[in-house]
């Protein structure tokens, strides 16, 4: 159960007090014996909010939430085919701070910061310092959208767009809402799961007043990430008129079983969230130990089709570089 002394703090205090010490994390979870299996990365260091740690099971070295954040020695193994930029995003940004991969929408990296460092993150090597939009770049982005009438949706990403404060976030919303052709603003975020209090009243009130449709895609990989408090905040967002979707990553030894996926979809739906995508792992350097082979992924998907109603089965996809869409996995493949 989450410690209420943690959750009573505002989200920014919780953000500033995130755990960055491997030894502290292992001590809290009484897992000091794991120290030999862990390393201290020089890049993309441990970072995990205490509210998320409180959802982990003390003493369980196989806790599915812990495995997502604890640096593992296996990350240091070079595996052929796993690279720093698996989606070739560094070649897809015509303007600083913006990626234009898909015809009708653009993605804005409005921050390089996240509340949590997930060890499988496909952007863990991304050069955010070279892609943070300045005030000038922000206006260039607005101009670019206006010059491309086929763009009707903007995705706020990063990093995590909810990692920025409301003042900065609202300024982006104001600027985007001034572009008449835009109909939808989408936020891709992990904050509602790791610090649920981020969905504060000011944020939800502002989202409810937007002239654009607001879609929030949360990144939840396991049912244990949604406890009673998290579900309550998600339901508040839905009541504010926000469309809630989920995209998960299929992670070996974390959520690659039928039971784990069924429980995730059911817990999401009970919280007002529809499953959207189940991503096969992007082949980013350092994350090979999370990858499942495609045949196992397909077999798992067929089991989900049998176990769940269609509206609770996410689309099984892979993102590939230089493709203008998410690529559906061929579930009829014999591979």
Q: What is the pLDDT of residue 247?
A: 97
C-alpha dihedral (51, 55, 56, 58), degrees to nearest 10: 90
Domains and CATH numbers, the chain: 4-76 (no CATH), 89-328 (3.20.20.70)
Percent above pLDDT 70 for the chain:
93
User: Each residue of 15-46: pLDDT tens digit?
Assistant: 999 999 999 999 999 999 999 889 888 888 99
Q: What is the pLDDT of residue 91?
A: 60
User: Each residue of 268-286: pLDDT tens digit?
Assistant: 999 999 999 999 998 888 8
Judge whether residue 80 has pLDDT over 90: no
User: Each residue of 294-314: pLDDT tens digit?
Assistant: 999 999 999 999 999 999 999
Name which residue leads in pLDDT, 97 or 221: 221
Q: Which residues contact 254 (CB under 8 A, 6 or more apart)?
A: 64, 67, 68, 221, 222, 260, 290
Measuring CA to CA, which residue among 218, 32, 211 is closest to residue 115?
218
Q: What is the pLDDT of residue 21?
A: 96
pLDDT grade, residue 130 (50/70/90)? low
Q: SS3 letters for the chain?
A: CCCHHHHCCCHHHHHHCCECCHHHHHHHCCCHHHHHHECCCCCCCCCECHHHHCCCCCCCCCCHHHHHHCCEHHHHCCCCCCECCCCCHHHCCCECCEEEEECCEEEEECCCCCCCCCCCCCCCCCCHHHCCCCHHHHHHHHHHHHCCCCCCEEEEECCCHHHCCHHHHHHHHHHHHCCCCCCEEEEEECHHHHCHHHCCHHHHHHHHCCCCEEEEEECCCCHHHCCHHHHHHHHHHHHCCCEEEEEEECCCCCCCCHHHHHHHHHHHHHCCCEEEEEECCCCECCCHHHCCCHHHHHHHHHHHHHHCCHHHCCEEEECCCCCCCCEECCCCCCC
How far apart (Å, rounded) are the C-alpha atoms in residues 216 and 41?
A: 31
pLDDT grade, residue 126 (50/70/90)? low
pLDDT grade, residue 90 (50/70/90)? low
Burial of 30 (0-12, 13-18, 19+ CB in 10 A): exposed
Average pLDDT over residues 172-177: 97
Q: List the beta bridge partners of residue 215.
A: 186, 243
Judge whether residue 334 has pLDDT over 70: no
Judge whether residue 263 has pLDDT over 50: yes
Name which residue leads in pLDDT, 159 or 221: 221
Give me the chain's average pLDDT, please: 92
How far apart (Å, rounded) are the C-alpha atoms in residues 46 and 116?
A: 8
Average pLDDT over residues 315-332: 87
Q: Is the pTM of this model over 0.85?
A: yes
User: Each residue of 183-240: pLDDT tens digit?
Assistant: 999 999 999 999 999 999 999 999 999 999 999 999 999 999 999 999 999 999 999 9
Specify the range with the lowest mean pLDDT, choosing from 49-58, 128-137, 153-162, 257-266: 128-137
pLDDT grade, residue 1 (50/70/90)? very low
């Amino acid at each position: 159960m989450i410690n209420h002394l943690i959750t009573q703090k505002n989200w920014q205090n919780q953000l500033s007090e995130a755990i960055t010490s491997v030894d502290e994390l292992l001590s809290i979870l009484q897992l000091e014996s794991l120290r030999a299996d862990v390393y201290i990365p020089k890049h993309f260091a441990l970072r995990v909010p205490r509210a998320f740690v409180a959802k982990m099971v003390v003493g369980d070295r196989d806790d599915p939430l812990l495995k997502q954040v604890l640096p593992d020695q296996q990350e240091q193994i070079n595996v052929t085919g796993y690279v720093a930029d698996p989606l070739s995003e560094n070649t897809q940004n015509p303007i600083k701070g913006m990626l234009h991969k898909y015809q009708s929408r653009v993605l804005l990296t409005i921050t390089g910061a996240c509340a949590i460092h997930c060890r499988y993150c496909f952007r863990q090597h991304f050069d955010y310092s070279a892609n943070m939009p300045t005030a000038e770049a922000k206006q260039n982005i607005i101009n670019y959208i206006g010059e491309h009438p086929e763009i009707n949706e903007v995705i706020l990403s990063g990093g995590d767009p909810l990692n920025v404060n409301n003042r900065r976030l609202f300024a982006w919303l104001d600027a985007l809402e001034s572009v008449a052709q835009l109909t939808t603003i989408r936020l891709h975020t992990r904050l509602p799961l790791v610090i649920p209090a981020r969905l504060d009243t000011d944020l939800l009130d502002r989202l409810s007043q937007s002239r654009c449709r607001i879609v929030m895609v949360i990144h939840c990989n396991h049912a244990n990430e949604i406890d009673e408090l998290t579900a309550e905040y998600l339901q508040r967002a839905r009541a504010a008129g926000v469309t809630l979707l989920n995209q998960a990553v299929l992670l070996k030894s974390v959520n690659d079983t039928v039971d784990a996926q069924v429980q995730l979809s059911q817990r999401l739906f009970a919280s007002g969230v529809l499953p959207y995508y189940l991503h096969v792992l992007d082949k980013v350097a350092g994350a090979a130990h999370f990858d499942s082979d495609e045949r196992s992924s397909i077999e798992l998907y067929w089991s989900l089709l049998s176990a769940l109603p269609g509206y609770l089965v996410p689309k099984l996809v892979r993102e590939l570089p230089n493709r203008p869409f998410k690529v559906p996995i061929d579930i009829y493949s014999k591979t």
